[in-house]
Amino acid sequence: SRRRRLNRMWKSSHDQKLLALVDVKGFGPKEVTVMVKDGKVKVSAEHEEEHTTARGKEYNYRNIMKEIRLPWGVSEDEVTCSL
């Protein structure tokens, strides 16, 4: 399940400075944006699909938006992310 996968990822991280994990499964790397601004890490992702079926066109759209406040004493310049 999604929760088990995230728990495994969290436990497998040996980095004690890990702030958060955001599940972006189903989104391509170019569809995910991470910004650090105003003391927050902002993660957003958008995915659009168009399918032609016998009944016409179908559209699928998904998005997520997460904001995580940086802990006190952490500089925005120190923040890194990986996908």
pLDDT in tens, 7-43: 655 555 545 566 778 888 889 999 999 999 999 999 9
- Is the domain spanning 22-73 CATH 1.10.8.100? The answer is no
61 has pLDDT over 90 = yes
> Would you say residue 60 has pLDDT above 60?
yes
Q: How far is 46 from 30, CA to CA, in rounded Å?
A: 9
What pTM does this model have? 0.68
DSSP code, position 58: E
Domain ranges of the chain: 22-73
Which two three-digit tokens encode residue 26? 């189903």
